[in-house]
Structure 1
């Protein structure tokens, strides 16, 4: 069974018969309504989003089959967030992500993105801890001064991340060549 917590971006796929008691269980009915068994009431997708924001662990199950629907609900929340306001993903970025499906690098891409998002979340947490006690005016001034610095930090981080990804890709290509070479196959 999948449990969604922000610490586990890719929930496990196994689905035991019952959900652990520490997770909030939300049942999805055929009429698309979501029922929070902890609160004994129907909830909206916006309220599920709030659970994510509050880091409240939950699992979404199909009311009839018991199938884990947590990932699809999370994707639906992302889709709604992308459609409203300022999208996080550009069209070229989404196209690149789609191109990784079915590609040999698909599994690596998922863990690569997950690790990078975790690193960004850690940076955000540290920045928030260090900025406690700042008034909104002080925060605005701090961010205006830090913007070029943060861009530089993030730019160098992304360059290092890109270099590590390319190095991993080259290593996999060499290993594939060696494996194929052992069978007398050359690319």
Structure 2
């Protein structure tokens, strides 16, 4: 998802009008938040701009999609996690926390992608999570443990930078 001041030629530009409608300039049609979500799910580079001012509204639209997803059923974020995220706003570690979360989510996504490529099955991750650990394909349990260890080490490094020890 790119939100630079100058969108690349391949980005889908969505204009948001004052009546809250979203207009996809690539298809010359109005779209819903659900359709923008689908573009994101398909890894389409999307940028949302205010139709009048050209202001980049991508982050607020993505946050709106997350809010709707959280309210729709099985939330991804617990209340405790959301409270902790809120506590980092205005805190000295705010910038570090954002990049920390981003790197860990990217590592998790990369692992899922690698697993799907190796198995030839995009749903392999979901199926593996339902299996007892002893039944996992050779090497995957170790890769999952390695990923968890990397996340733990990154957390300890970040906390160590600020004098917090485990």
How high is the TM-score relative to the length of structure 2? 0.81
Cα distance, 1:39–1:124 mapped onto 2, change above 3 Å: same
1:56 to 44, 61, 81: 44
1:164 aligns with 2:154: yes
Indicate the residue corresponding to 1:87 in structure 2.
75
1:127 to 100, 115, 125: 115
- Could you say which residue in structure 1 is the equivalent of 2:56? 68
Residues 71 and 167 of structure 1: is their aligned pair in 2 closer, same or farther, counting only changes over 3 Å? same
Moved over 3 A (4+): 133-136, 139-143, 145-160
Q: Using a 3 Å threshold, how does the CA distance of structure 1 residues 79 and 36 change in structure 2: closer, same or farther?
A: same
1:168 CA displacement: 2.8
Question: Please, which runs of 5 or more residues in structure 1 have no aligned partner?
Answer: 6-10, 175-187
Q: Which residue of 2 aligns with 1:97?
A: 85
Distance across 1 between alignment mates of 2:12 and 2:145: 39
Q: State the 1:127 CA deviation.
A: 1.4
Give me the TM-score of the superposition, normalised by structure 1: 0.73
How much is the aligned-residue C-alpha RMSD, in angstroms? Answer: 3.0
**Larger gyration radius, structure 1 or structure 2:** 1
Picking from 27, 40, 53, the partner of 2:28 is 40
Task: Quote the residue 1:113 is aligned against.
Answer: 101
Q: Number of residues paired by the alignment?
A: 160
Match of residue 144 from structure 1: 131
Offset, 1:20: 3.5
Q: For residue 147 of structure 1, report the CA deviation from its aligned partner.
A: 7.8
Distance 2:53 2:158 in 1: 41
Change (3 A) 1:134 1:88: closer
Q: SS state of the match for residue 38, structure 1?
A: coil
**Separation in 2, partners of 1:134, 1:56:** 18
> The residue matched to 1:25 in structure 2 has which SS?
strand
| Contact 2:116–2:122 under 8 Å retained in 1 | no
